């Protein structure tokens, strides 16, 4: 599925050759994210991500960077998460070397103009303001803060308006020098490309980067008796409720059983939560679940949007469905869920951007890449006993947390549902 080379300075170069495509996606993954930031630095990784689009050595303006990609019909963007930042460009395969040039220049030689930095600070504040207008997203942020309180893993990735306003330019530049070093980066290219040509381009444009030792990430710490329920009062038409259960890290063998649990509970219109809360009881328009995995922790989150007057009964119904699944996992239902998870993996990997992400993220976070066949084998191997064991270990109400955004003055509507143990 892929080939790997390592440059003398430690940069890992991975390719997945897809000769049947007419596109290619170039991605650079960096070990930089909110888990690497102290409290006073909240939002630092995201701030730096923005700055790298403002100009680099061979294209000193934001316009020149965007024209280089868009001028060939391509798209480029970036994303910051808790454990990584990724920069990518998807282009026609004939422009892949130019795309490598552009992304490599951005991550290795950004200009970091102080005037542009101050302008971008205001742009980021607008981005944070947009989140305030999205109560469903706020509920997801709040449930993470409740599950992992007072630590980087549970903190908002973009930081707060206060932390963004206070970040000095010197901190952004120090962070760049610390984290953007070749041993902490992966170049992943997927599409109609040749591995040898990609490696040559990497040597040309990234081979001269100086090696360095990046700062470590902050490990997850126990909740230590923190409140299991949190609310954010906001004038909304709907209540936005999230319930989260701690689960397993990204590299844990049980991660596939957790994925199956999520599929059973809340992925798609045939899931238990959708059928019960929407089709049967008409409590919600949207209810879904998703699993998240990190280096040393994980969780499964369930979201529902409902009338505020139905917020408690909706939350009760979610907990009831989890309890029903704990009591009984029918073999035929498990097989259908496994088939869904398998199918989604296969469909996703038709796209060069998804394949680039598959190889790049795994290499950065796990130092290895599982092939599609290996992942499918692990999904197939999940048994009813595995699902029951995972449900018993991680999905008891007493270990869950709940967060809600809506017209609630306090946590009273949700007391006693989770976190009683």
So which residues are the catalytic ones? 49
Contacts (Cβ under 8 Å, ≥6 apart) of 246: 147, 297, 298, 299, 394, 399
Side-by-side strand order, sheet with 298-306: 229-233, 401-406, 239-246, 298-306, 284-293
Alpha-carbon span 19 to 17, nearest angstrom: 6
Q: What are phi and psi of 191, to 5 degrees?
A: 140, -155
Q: Which helix (H) or strand (E) holds 233?
A: strand 229-233
Instruction: Quickly tell me which residue has 């599925």 as its tokens.
Output: 1
Q: Which helix (H) or strand (E) holds 373?
A: helix 372-380
Contacts (Cβ under 8 Å, ≥6 apart) of 280: none
Q: What b/e sequence results for 288-304 when a residue is b if at least 16 CB atoms lie within 10 Å of its CB, and e otherwise?
A: bbebbbbbbbbbbbbbb
**DSSP label at residue 56:** B
- Inter-residue contact 328 to 264 (CB < 8 Å): no
Alpha-carbon span 186 to 181, nearest angstrom: 10
Alpha-carbon span 384 to 331, nearest angstrom: 7
Q: Which helix (H) or strand (E) holds 173?
A: helix 169-179
């Amino acid at each position: 599925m892929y080939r790997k080379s390592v440059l003398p300075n430690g940069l890992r170069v991975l390719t997945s050759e897809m000769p049947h495509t007419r596109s290619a996606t170039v991605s650079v993954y960096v070990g930089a994210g909110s888990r690497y930031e102290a409290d006073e630095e909240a939002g630092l990784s995201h701030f730096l991500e923005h700055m790298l689009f403002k100009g680099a050595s061979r294209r000193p303006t934001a316009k020149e960077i965007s024209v280089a990609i868009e001028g060939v019909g391509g798209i480029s963007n970036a994303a910051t998460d808790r454990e990584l930042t990724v920069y990518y460009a998807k282009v026609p395969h004939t422009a892949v070397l130019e795309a490598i040039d552009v992304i490599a220049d951005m991550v290795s030689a950004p200009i970091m103009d102080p005037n542009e930095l101050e302008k971008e600070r205001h742009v980021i504040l607008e981005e944070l303001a947009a989140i305030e207008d999205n109560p469903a997203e706020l509920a997801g942020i709040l449930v993470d803060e409740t599950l992992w309180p007072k630590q980087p893993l549970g903190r908002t990735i973009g930081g707060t308006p206060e932390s963004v306003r206070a970040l000095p330019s010197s901190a952004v530049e120090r962070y760049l020098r610390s984290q953007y070093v070749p041993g902490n980066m992966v170049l992943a290219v997927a599409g109609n490309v040749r591995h040898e040509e990609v490696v040559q381009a990497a040597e040309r444009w990234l081979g001269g980067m100086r090696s360095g030792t990046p700062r470590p990430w902050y490990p997850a710490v126990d909740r230590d008796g923190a409140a299991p329920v949190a609310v954010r009062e906001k004038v909304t038409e709907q209540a936005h409720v999230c319930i989260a259960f701690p689960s397993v890290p990204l590299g844990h063998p049980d991660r596939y059983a957790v994925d199956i649990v999520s599929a059973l509970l809340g992925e798609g219109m045939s899931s238990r939560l959708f059928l019960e809360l929407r089709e049967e009881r008409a409590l919600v328009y949207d209810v879904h679940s998703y699993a998240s995995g990190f280096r040393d922790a994980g969780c499964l989150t369930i979201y529902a949007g409902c009338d505020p007057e139905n917020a408690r009964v909706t939350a009760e119904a979610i907990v009831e469905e989890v309890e029903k699944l704990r009591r009984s996992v029918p073999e035929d239902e498990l097989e259908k869920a496994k088939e869904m998870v398998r199918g989604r993996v296969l469909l996703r990997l038709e796209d060069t951007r998804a394949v680039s992400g598959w190889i790049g993220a795994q290499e950065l976070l796990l130092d290895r890449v599982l092939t599609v066949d290996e992942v499918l084998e692990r999904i197939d191997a999940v048994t009813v006993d595995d699902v029951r064991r995972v449900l018993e270990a991680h999905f008891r109400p007493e270990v869950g947390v709940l967060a809600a955004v809506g017209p609630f003055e306090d946590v009273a509507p949700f007391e006693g549902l989770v976190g009683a143990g």
